[in-house]
């Protein structure tokens, strides 16, 4: 296993322990004594090993860290920021660029791992729901947790031009097995779908700070793919 980032490990443990303690006190019959659960750092290490798999170029620990940082920025808009943080950890925990069921498999991983780690079923179900939501990023009105996770995940679209170009290049590397013509066609379709949305972001911060730049970046990339 690669060396784990101590800051990331600590951030996972902090979120898990905050939710684990609350779950144990709120429903003591639903789980064992919190002291019986494994060290949260062990769970962090297992997840970080997944995020460091060799097939990843964009969906790496750098992406995880960026999403967690964006969740911190947007935390005031969430009903339970720590649940959103755990969902970020799991949202790409299973990732194979040649498969279409990554979000579903990631959600199922959360459904197995989080009860073992000490979360209540209700909190586990919410994390899994949020993970599945990243398939479409279509948070419904009033879904505050969903809006924060989706905005944090899509914030990369609003990067400075150089950062956006690096993101797009990393995505192309992940799909290196796809021929150029097929990739350009598929990627252009994705960008067109995004640009057709009434808004990319749902939190006030995302709309005010990220929406315009993200649309500029998407349109610029689309022009290079269709020129």
State yes or no: pLDDT of 4 exceeds 70: no
197 φ, ψ (degrees, to nearest 5) = -70, 145
Angle at CA of residue 128, ends 210 and 193, nearest 5°? 40
Stronger pLDDT, 28 or 140, i.e. the higher one:
140
pLDDT digits (tens, 9 = 90+) for 178-222: 999 999 999 999 999 999 999 999 999 999 999 999 999 999 999
Instruction: Report percent pLDDT > 70 for the chain.
Output: 91
pLDDT digits (tens, 9 = 90+) for 9-32: 999 999 999 998 544 433 333 444
pLDDT digits (tens, 9 = 90+) for 51-84: 999 999 999 999 999 999 999 999 999 999 999 9
The whole model's pTM is what? 0.91
- Residue burial 68-107, b: 16+ Cβ < 10 Å; e: rest: bebbebbeebbebbbbbbbbbbbbbbbbebeeeebbeebb
Q: How large is the average pLDDT for residues 100-111?
A: 97
Average pLDDT value over all residues in the chain: 92
Instruction: Report percent pLDDT > 90 for the chain.
Output: 87
State yes or no: pLDDT of 134 exceeds 60: yes
The CATH homologous superfamily for domain 6-226 is 3'5'-cyclic nucleotide phosphodiesterase, catalytic domain (1.10.1300.10)
């Amino acid at each position: 296993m690669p060396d784990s980032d101590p800051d990331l490990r600590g951030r996972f443990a902090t979120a898990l322990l905050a939710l684990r303690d609350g779950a144990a006190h709120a429903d003591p019959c639903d789980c064992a004594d919190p002291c019986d659960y494994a060290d949260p750092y062990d769970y962090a290490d297992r997840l970080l090993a997944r995020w460091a798999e060799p097939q990843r170029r964009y969906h790496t620990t750098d992406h995880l860290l960026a999403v967690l940082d964006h969740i911190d920025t947007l935390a005031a808009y969430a009903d339970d920021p720590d649940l959103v943080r755990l969902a970020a950890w799991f949202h790409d925990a299973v990732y194979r660029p040649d498969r279409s069921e990554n979000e579903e498999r990631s959600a199922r991983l959360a459904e197995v791992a989080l009860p073992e780690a000490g979360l209540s079923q209700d909190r586990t179900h919410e994390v899994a729901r949020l993970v599945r939501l990243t398939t479409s990023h279509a948070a419904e009105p009033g879904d505050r947790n969903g809006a924060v996770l989706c905005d944090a995940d899509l914030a990369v679209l609003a990067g400075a031009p150089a950062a956006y170009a690096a993101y797009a290049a990393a995505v192309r590397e992940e799909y290196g097995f796809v021929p150029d013509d097929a990739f350009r066609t598929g990627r252009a379709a994705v960008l067109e779908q995004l640009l057709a949305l009434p808004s990319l972001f749902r939190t006030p911060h995302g709309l005010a700070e990220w929406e315009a730049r993200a649309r500029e970046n998407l349109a610029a990339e689309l022009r290079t793919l269709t020129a």
